[in-house]
Amino acid sequence: MYCPFCRNPDSRVVDSRLADDGSTIKRRRQCPECGRRFSTVETASLSVIKRSGVGEPFSRSKIINGVRKACQGRPVTDDDLAMLAQEVEETIRASGAAEMAANEVGLAILGPLQKLDQVAYLRFASVYQDFESLADFESAIAQLRSQIPVGQASASDGQEPVRTGGKAAEPSSSVQDR
């Protein structure tokens, strides 16, 4: 590749380093013309095959844009979305496949989105899985309910008991009956 400083079309690799998870290789290069150094990162290409059969490169920003709509009005930050997209990419890359159908990418989104925000999850799942009736929502909600460990359910609505010095905190079981 071209030297980013002087556009010389040749460069020499002076160091190669594999990322901890083995998914990328970082190479340190030196330009023989101007002597300056720069880095390149090598990643296996990953294609998403759309319903039409057309493939396009996997893109985290596409994941983020797709999920962001479902997160409107929800307490989800840009950082949350970036982390979700990263998790989705890691899941897909861990499968070892060089190509993946778009609907499988959607499936890979559902898991992390469910952990992030359950309302956004239901919105996303209703579009993505073509919910047609209330029964579809009911079964998705029933599934969500059956997955939530009791301890997490009370912590997620932000009403954790405040511990004050010396005073014993209320037992958490009393918080659950509203």
Tell me: does residue 119 bind Zn ion (CB under 5 A): no
Q: H or E element: which one contains 56?
A: strand 55-57
Tell me: does residue 5 bind Zn ion (CB under 5 A): yes
Tell me: does residue 6 bind Zn ion (CB under 5 A): yes
**Subset of 30-69 contacting Zn ion (CB under 5 A):** 31, 33-34
Minimum separation from the CB atom of position 43 to Zn ion (A): 24
Minimum separation from the CB atom of position 33 to Zn ion (A): 5
- Gap between the Cα atoms of 70 and 76, Å rounded: 10
DSSP E strands in 99-170: the ranges are 99-101
- Supply 120's token pair: 């956004």
Q: Which is nearer to Zn ion, 29 or 93 (CB)?
A: 29
Owner of token pair 């030297």: 3
Tell me: does residue 2 bind Zn ion (CB under 5 A): no
Q: Which is nearer to Zn ion, 7 or 17 (CB)?
A: 7
Q: Which is nearer to Zn ion, 31 or 63 (CB)?
A: 31
Tell me: does residue 29 bind Zn ion (CB under 5 A): no
DSSP string, 3-50: -TTT--S--EEEEEEE-TTSSEEEEEEE-TTT--EEEEEEE---EEE-
By CB under 5 A, name the binding residues for Zn ion.
3, 5-6, 8, 31, 33-34
